[in-house]
Amino acid sequence: MNNTIGLGNFYVWRESDDEKLPDISFVPPMVRRRMTDLQKIAIGVAHRVTPEDANYQVVFASRFGEWGQTIKLITQFHNDKEMSPAGFSNSVHNAAAGAFSVLTKNKNPYTSIAAGVRTLESGIMAALIAEKPVLFVFAEEKSPEMYEPFLEKPVMAHALAFMLTNDAARKFVWQSVTKQQEPLSFDMMAEFLEKGGKITTESWELTDK
């Protein structure tokens, strides 16, 4: 199967000494205070690529999700034998996608994806086959210290977002493939967005037209 799709705005963000989280000053203060770090990251990058008209689907992907919030809940349950309902609602995997939909008053469907080491490529696949226009967001927050002994290396906060439309100036061809490939990395996808060319995963391939 071959398709030509337009790539609209995109944004790539990485945690740095100067910017631990993306700017979300556009979010009302009362809402901002209730948001987790992952929600701030995802919504911060999404805001930079979306049109004012909130008429698009959303695909959100995160391998680790709200692990910082999950630790808080587990600690609270251990100490107090109860959990905060508000805290629990912020711990689910679709919390960021849901918060963004509420914030933008977007009533279109959204999907939240976690697929282990292949989360990024699986999320992009979902965006490729979704009805256009569609916003794709991939986001990870900084790894909690207690998790780091179980990781190959600590995770720094990072995210990317892009719009797929039928009428954008930049076009690429995507093709469904079946190949044995290493999992798509954040850096590989960021380089493709910024420089173009071609990128191949085990299930799809993108080529600038």
- What integer pLDDT is reported at residue 85 of this predicted model? 66
Rounded Cα distance, 100 and 44, in Å: 10
Rounded Cα distance, 160 and 136, in Å: 8
Domain 9-167: which CATH number of 3.50.50.60, 3.40.47.10, 3.90.1150.10, 3.40.50.720: 3.40.47.10
- What integer pLDDT is reported at residue 92 of this predicted model? 80
Give yes or no for a cis peptide into 133 (omega within 30° of 0). Answer: yes
- What integer pLDDT is reported at residue 50 of this predicted model? 95
Domain boundaries, the chain: 9-167
Taking only the tens place, the pLDDT of each residue in 35-47 is: 999 999 999 999 9
Query: How many CB atoms neighbour CB 18 within 10 A?
Result: 5
pLDDT lower than 70: segments of the chain? 1-2, 77, 83, 85-89, 91
